[in-house]
């Protein structure tokens, strides 16, 4: 998928496998079976102050699954032309975000944990952190 050709239609919610019993729920993920890419990096954010936001960038090549492991938050997605907001509030639902999509995370509930499964290791040069630079690149279609 090309950065220039990605759209909001390429981002989607997926229901993760869930095993339920009296002792609680378990979600186990196998990269090649349950996800569309192999996981190379996992990180999570937590203790986010009230009113704070995260993200505010796009990636050139990175694919991500974003999961509300605990609590809830909203993800604003922007493909340079269209925007939509997705509320994540279940640990068995993941939002796939493809390269070329601007994302901003906000409206975190108290105790929210945002878990991210990434297709690549951290690379600073994969980030576009200025919205106008992102918009101008997308206009080069």
5, 57, 59, 106: the catalytic one is 57
User: 111: left (phi > 0), else alpha (psi -120 to 50), else beta?
Assistant: left
> 42: exposed, middle or buried (C-beta count within 10 Å: 0-12, 13-18, 19+)?
exposed
Residue that has been written with the tokens 């505010």 in this structure: 56
Task: Indicate the Cα dihedral angle 75, 79, 81, 84, nearest 10°.
Answer: -20
Hey, is 61 helix, strand or coil?
A: coil
59 is catalytic: no
Which residues form the catalytic set? Answer: 57
């Amino acid at each position: 998928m090309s950065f220039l050709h990605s759209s909001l239609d390429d981002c989607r919610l997926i229901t993760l496998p869930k095993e339920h019993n009296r002792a609680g729920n378990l979600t186990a993920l196998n990269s090649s079976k349950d996800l569309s890419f192999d996981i190379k990096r996992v990180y999570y954010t937590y203790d986010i102050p009230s009113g704070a936001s995260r993200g505010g960038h796009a990636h050139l090549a990175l694919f991500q699954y974003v999961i509300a492991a605990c609590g809830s938050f909203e993800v604003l997605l922007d493909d340079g032309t269209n925007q939509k907001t997705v509320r994540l509030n279940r640990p068995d639902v993941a939002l796939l975000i493809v390269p070329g999509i601007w994302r901003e995370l906000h409206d975190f509930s108290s105790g929210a944990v945002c878990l991210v499964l990434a297709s690549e290791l951290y690379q600073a040069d994969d980030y576009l952190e200025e919205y106008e630079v992102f918009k101008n690149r997308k206009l080069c279609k």
